[in-house]
Copies of this chain bind each other. A is one copy, B any other.
Amino acid sequence: MSAQPVPLVPVLAVVGIGLIGGSFAAALRRAGQVGRVLGVGRRQASLDRALALGLIDEVVDLEQAARRADLILLATPVGAMRAALEALGPHLRPEALVTDAGSTKADVAAIARAALGERLRQFLPGHPIAGSEMTGPEAAHPALYHGRKVVLTPLAETPVRARDWLTRVWEACGAHVLLMDAERHDRVLASISHLPHLLAAAYMAQVSREGDADLRLSLAGTGFRDFTRIAAGSAEVWRDIFLSNRESVLDELAAFERVLGELRKTLEDPDPRALEAFLEQAALARRLWDGRSAMT
């Protein structure tokens, strides 16, 4: 070891070395803010590739990760987190922090509460709003989080010092960190991520069940392509997201159906002015968002 300054994370452990976990390790490595990266995973082939790609330095098990790491990122499906936390808990170093990258946060907080007991203060739920259609360690990239938002949802038990440290770690990856409570996170994500997926899936299912589906699909163009792209996502992953955030998703769906009903009325009893005003509101909101998101 040279006389370089101490990195923010002397020892990082990543559980699940795919796009999310691998990119986190790669970003911290490029920023010079990680010493050693330990990798934990179920699939040997993925671990081998992660080693070959230099994303991790060493493969360890959960107990070793807990005994050695300063920071542990759970980059696994939410369904695998309880078992991981139960295996990590008894061996965690007292100053270590565990975080995650799951798409829903109230359920993760509840899982951590059940699995960690009095070690709960060592867990801080998080959600990097970044992704890609690609998966696996090959898709990992040090710039994945650059300019992206990361939401942290501190628990009542979370020490301010831990919150500030994890914020700096994500900022070192190039991300903007937002703090909010888990319930608000879940409502917002239900609105801007889960509901679009639900609607795109329902639409895609409807088209594909029609008797002339082949003709329809043969004429579908770029608008269709973009509108339905998210429907191609993993059914297993999205089933878990919908179930873990079902109340917020159902609330958002109900709100959407009310507004859709208003739009339907302008067509059923044709009202060209009201129809155009509605479409104009939607178009302006979308263009405004484009302008804002281009600035960040």
Seen from chain A, the residues whose Cβ lies within 8 Å of a Cβ on chain B are 129-132, 148-149, 151, 178, 184, 188-189, 191-193, 195-210, 212-213, 215-236, 238-239, 242-243, 246, 249-250, 253, 255-256, 258-260, 263-264, 267-268, 270, 272, 275-283, 285-287, 289-290, 292-293
| A223 and B212 contacting across the interface, CB-CB below 8 Å | no
Which B residue sits closest to A239, measured CB to CB? Answer: B276
| B131 and A222 contacting across the interface, CB-CB below 8 Å | yes
- Interface of A, secondary structure class, is helix
Given contacts A201-B278, A233-B283, whether A267 and B246 have CB atoms under 8 Å apart is yes
Residues of B within 8 A of A210 (CB): 191, 255
Instruction: Indicate the member of A206, A226, A236 with the most B CB atoms within 10 Å.
Output: A206
Given contacts A129-B219, A225-B293, A267-B246, whether A259 and B196 have CB atoms under 8 Å apart is no
Question: 20 A–B contact pairs at CB < 8 A?
Answer: A130-B221, A192-B217, A193-B220, A193-B224, A196-B227, A198-B263, A199-B227, A199-B260, A201-B282, A202-B263, A205-B278, A207-B285, A208-B281, A210-B255, A227-B227, A228-B289, A231-B285, A234-B283, A242-B275, A243-B267
Given contacts A130-B221, A221-B131, A236-B276, whether A199 and B205 have CB atoms under 8 Å apart is no
Query: Can you add 19 more A-B contacts, CB < 8 Å, to A131-B223, A193-B223?
Result: A131-B222, A132-B222, A184-B212, A189-B219, A191-B216, A192-B220, A193-B220, A196-B203, A202-B256, A202-B263, A205-B263, A206-B260, A208-B281, A209-B259, A217-B292, A223-B230, A229-B286, A236-B276, A250-B268
Bound: A278/B201 CA distance, A: 8
Specify which of B196, B243, B253 is in contact with A275 (CB 8 Å cutoff): B243
| B219 and A149 contacting across the interface, CB-CB below 8 Å | yes
Residues of B within 8 A of A202 (CB): 256, 259-260, 263, 282
| B256 and A286 contacting across the interface, CB-CB below 8 Å | no
| B289 and A272 contacting across the interface, CB-CB below 8 Å | no
| A280 and B188 contacting across the interface, CB-CB below 8 Å | no
Specify which of B151, B259, B292 is in contact with A205 (CB 8 Å cutoff): B259
Which B residue sits closest to A130, measured CB to CB? Answer: B221
Bound: A228/B286 CA distance, A: 7
Nearest 4 Cβ contacts at the A-B interface: A208-B285, A235-B279, A201-B282, A235-B280
Bound: A268/B242 CA distance, A: 11
Which B residue sits closest to A207, measured CB to CB? Answer: B191
Bound: A263/B111 CA distance, A: 27
| B232 and A212 contacting across the interface, CB-CB below 8 Å | no
Bound: A226/B223 CA distance, A: 9
Which B residue sits closest to A273, measured CB to CB? Answer: B239
Given contacts A151-B219, A208-B282, A286-B232, whether A199 and B203 have CB atoms under 8 Å apart is yes
